[in-house]
Amino acid sequence: MLDTPSKDKNPSFTSLNPGIAVLSLLILVFFTLVLNLDYSLFAQVAPAEETSQQTNTTQNAAPLTTFDPEADLNHQALEGSGSEDGGQPSTTLTGDSPTEAETDQTGTAPGFTFAQLEALAGSKTNHPFTPQRGAENKFLSGMREETWRSISYDSSQRLWGDDNSNFEVSFFHPGFIYDQFVSIHAVENGSVRTLEFSPHKFSYPEAGVKENAQAQALGFAGFSIHFPRNEASTMAETVIFLGANHFQAAARHSQFGQTARGLMINPGEPEGEEFPYFREFWLMKPQEGSNSMTIFALLESPRLVGAYEFVVTPGSSMSMQVRCSIFRRQEKPWPEKLGLAPITGMYLFSEKENGSPYDWRPELHTTDGLLYSDGPQSWFLRALNNPTRLMISQFELSRLDGFGLMQRDNNFDHYQDIGRRYDLRTWVWFEPKEAFPLGRIELIEIPNSREIHDNIHCFWSVKGADLGNLDKISLAYNLFWMPPASNPHTLGRVVSSRLLSRTSPEFVEFYLDFDNNVLNSITEVEGLASVVETGPQTPDLQRTLTKNPITGGWRLRLKLQAPEEPGFFSRLLDFRKPSASPQHRVQVRLVRGENLPLPLTETFVYDFPVK
């Protein structure tokens, strides 16, 4: 679970009347505890009918594909091991242009269909939710992380390992925080067979662990798909489904980085988040030579049931076509909030904060910005924060073209981490294939001091009240698992952002570097103009736009008045609310000139966190 941020030391009251001092201290302690919300609710891993009317409140969808991944080229909780032999991953947990799910290009064997899965999910809405097996098993929940890591699946036992298939599947042993069992079926030649757990297919280096496993009825915790994504002759771990409804994939010559989820329920809500689980999977055996594989998954939670289909196609970036139908259980209303197509990553600090005095590495993150778009020439990059207080930001779009947690910086020198190689981390880009329910992008940033925790969450946020009496919603979208620094647009990019706020509490300075071939070709004589949008409390005081003779790009120095921080009593009156948008927001982009407003760059966005 996420660490609760440390509390500030209480001020001294030695000069006050002792009774007043004690009373004041008690009041301060109370509100301090309240203001520091329970961040563990956002932990990366949770403790451990067809005729229904469809929604008629939809967001305009983007074109099916807005970029070509070939053209421009959990972290810890679920991060793949990177091993070639199918060993257990470390407990930290990519594809070409997508193909249409409706066309039979995956070489999938018949025997199970999405329609069957939808019918199964619909039938479960008539029954109450039952917890998964394994949660009460003390052998599993008490297993040390090091013990779980040491257990590995026998690579000679991989599913389809002897069938000349481009895909092989290994399985995860339950234990540690992965103590929920999942049912896994293989669909081959028109037949469905259930894969049975056996301790004999695992290696147990620590004494006594195998004997304990043999003495109990256990099940799989998840699975890993292997594919020759780097070298044609070598199978490499490529897709992982492990823990609640989390999954990951890796791009070619990249490492596992961010994590996607099937669904988030009530993220950031005062009542707490509800964690759905993938509790059953059907693995469709691809035909020999096929480069795509289909996975079906059944998702359940106390209020919802979901049918999911994933068509994975590895390549330089890994594409994952997703379609799903999400049902509400009978007699259960829709949750207050649904987080659709969620993506999570980790951000502690970057060049924006000039590093950290508590770490020797210059940067530490698996994502350095929220990228989103609502039009071909309308792209935004929101700089990330590691705030001192839970921060929730919302972004209203005229239409939904896509979003993702970009990992733009792929320079090893900027990270200096030989072991974790954050410069090689895969990032995820989402695109809708059809209209989504009316909503907005939501970004949740959680105070974080340890890199093993994902503290950045983005998703398409939908209010349950907007779904009314619908029995289900159906979605179709693509996830692209991209190599670091790959870019889905051709506009000028913000390649670095630095924030200076320590010299004076009254002012804030930004140093923004913009770059691409078009910007580099514009001379200082021709010149450019900057467009800066700020709120009334953060007026633009001074700006200077300079051609960078070293890189060829352009640097903007922007000086703003610092926003006024809320007083103590204002915080007390607002103690039940996290910092929610709109905060004091700044937006910056470059254009040809004041009378030529067509943007040459993406728009840099920054939200001042409330302290």
463 DSSP 8-state letter: E
Q: Which amino acid is at 139?
A: F
Output the pLDDT for position 501. 72
By CB neighbour count within 10 A (0-12 exposed, 13-18 middle, 19+ buried), where does 103 fall? exposed
| pLDDT 10s digits, 587-597 | 999 999 877 88
Nearest to 244 by CA among 30, 76, 47, 456: 47
> Parallel, antiparallel, or unpaired: how do β-strands 234-242 and 222-231 relate?
antiparallel
Distance, CA of 393 to CA of 342 (rounded, Å): 15
> Parallel, antiparallel, or unpaired: how do β-strands 347-349 and 364-365 relate?
antiparallel
Lowest mean pLDDT among 66-75, 90-99, 378-387, 538-547: 90-99
Output the pLDDT for position 175. 95
End-to-end CA distance of the chain: 23
Tokens 């950045």 -> residue: 456
pLDDT band at 207; cut points 50, 70, 90:
very high
Position 307 pLDDT exceeds 70 = yes
Output the pLDDT for position 21. 47
Output the pLDDT for position 597. 84
Instruction: Identify whether the C-beta of residue 264 lies closer than 8 Å to the C-beta of residue 326.
Output: no
pLDDT band at 53; cut points 50, 70, 90:
very low
Output the pLDDT for position 566. 58
pLDDT band at 503; cut points 50, 70, 90:
low
Instruction: Identify whether the C-beta of residue 407 lies closer than 8 Å to the C-beta of residue 427.
Output: yes
Tokens of 25: 């201290």
Tokens 């081959």 -> residue: 188
The per-residue pLDDT of the chain, averaged, comes to: 83
Output the pLDDT for position 66. 40
| pLDDT 10s digits, 406-454 | 999 999 999 999 999 999 999 999 999 999 999 999 999 999 999 999 9
Tokens of 366: 């698996």
Left if phi > 0, otherwise alpha if psi is -120 to 50, otherwise beta: which for 148? alpha
Tokens of 20: 């007043």
Output the pLDDT for position 540. 85
- 393-409 burial string, b = 16+ CB within 10 Å, else e? bebebeebbbbbbbbbb
Output the pLDDT for position 16. 39
Distance, CA of 296 to CA of 309 (rounded, Å): 5
Position 518 pLDDT exceeds 80 = yes
pLDDT band at 34; cut points 50, 70, 90:
very low
Output the pLDDT for position 596. 83
Output the pLDDT for position 82. 40
By CB neighbour count within 10 A (0-12 exposed, 13-18 middle, 19+ buried), where does 550 fall? exposed
Residue range 35-60: mean pLDDT, rounded:
39
Distance, CA of 36 to CA of 446 (rounded, Å): 11
**DSSP line for 476-517:** EEEEEEEPTT--S--SBEEEEEEEE-SS-TTEEEEEEEEE-H
Output the pLDDT for position 457. 98
- Show the domains of the chain with their CATH numbers: 58-98+110-122+134-482 (2.70.98.10), 493-608 (2.60.40.10)
- Tally of helices (H runs) and strands (E runs) in the chain: 7, 36
Distance, CA of 5 to CA of 318 (rounded, Å): 36
pLDDT band at 374; cut points 50, 70, 90:
very high
Output the pLDDT for position 124. 97
Tokens 């996290």 -> residue: 578
Output the pLDDT for position 41. 38
Tokens of 595: 């009378």
Output the pLDDT for position 300. 97
Q: Which amino acid is at 537?
A: Q
By CB neighbour count within 10 A (0-12 exposed, 13-18 middle, 19+ buried), where does 575 fall? middle
Instruction: Identify whether the C-beta of residue 496 lies closer than 8 Å to the C-beta of residue 411.
Output: no
Residue range 63-76: mean pLDDT, rounded:
39
Output the pLDDT for position 240. 98
Residue range 259-275: mean pLDDT, rounded:
95
More confident residue, 60 or 110: 110
DSSP reduced 3-state for 520: helix
| pLDDT 10s digits, 136-168 | 788 998 999 999 999 999 999 999 998 889 999
Output the pLDDT for position 110. 62
Query: Can you name the residues that pair with 602 across neighbouring β-strands?
Result: none
Distance, CA of 215 to CA of 562 (rounded, Å): 63
Position 85 pLDDT exceeds 60 = no
